[in-house]
Amino acid sequence: MKKFNLGIFAILSILNFNGCADNQSSKPPIKTQVEQKYNQYYNFYYPEIIITSVVDNLTINDVIVNKGNCKYSKETLALHNGRGVAVPLLPSELTFGKQLEISLDKSCKVLKIDLNFRT
């Protein structure tokens, strides 16, 4: 019996922008979505936030989920000379169409995402 079967897309959470935008247009400089991903090795689902830039130059400085109550790893693993090296996830510079993916703890139910960014 599976308790958690939401499919690929989860409901988009409430989104607050805490940043300074040079152009004061009504369109936000990013698109945000929350998806449920499956870990096939440990057999569980976990939420993932996907932030996509819709401007040419965007820097994501911080991502706060559920007022800081939903934690995620601040580093990602990259290969360098055949060895795994920890690379900071933030700040992250994105150009148009590029994405930042943040995997959250499986017990997190995303209700609010606060972004600190600069365009």
Note the pLDDT of residue 23. Answer: 52
Q: Does residue 4 fall inside a structural domain?
A: no
Q: Give the total number of structural domains in the chain.
A: 1
Distances (CA, A) of 56 to 26, 44, 88: 17, 36, 22
Task: Show the low-confidence residues of the chain (pLDDT under 70).
Answer: 1-25
Backbone φ and ψ for 71, nearest 5 degrees, come out as: -90, 155
82 contacts: CB under 8 Å, gap ≥ 6? none
Q: Does residue 63 fall inside a structural domain?
A: yes
Note the pLDDT of residue 15. Answer: 41
Write the burial class of residue 115 (CB in 10 Å: 0-12 exposed, 13-18 middle, 19+ buried): buried
Q: Model pTM?
A: 0.75
Q: Does residue 42 fall inside a structural domain?
A: yes
Q: Does residue 101 fall inside a structural domain?
A: yes
Note the pLDDT of residue 14. Answer: 33
- The helix, strand and coil proportions of the chain, stated in percent and rounded to the nearest 5, come to 5, 55, 45
Q: Does residue 2 fall inside a structural domain?
A: no
Q: Does residue 109 fall inside a structural domain?
A: yes
**By residue range, what is the domain housing residue 106?**
14-118
Note the pLDDT of residue 116. Answer: 96
Q: Does residue 1 fall inside a structural domain?
A: no
DSSP 81: T
Q: 112-118 and 14-17 as β-strands: parallel, antiparallel, unpaired?
A: parallel
**Cβ contact 17:28 at 8 Å:** yes
Note the pLDDT of residue 24. Answer: 54
How many other β-carbons are positioned within 10 Å of the β-carbon of residue 66? 16
Q: Does residue 9 fall inside a structural domain?
A: no
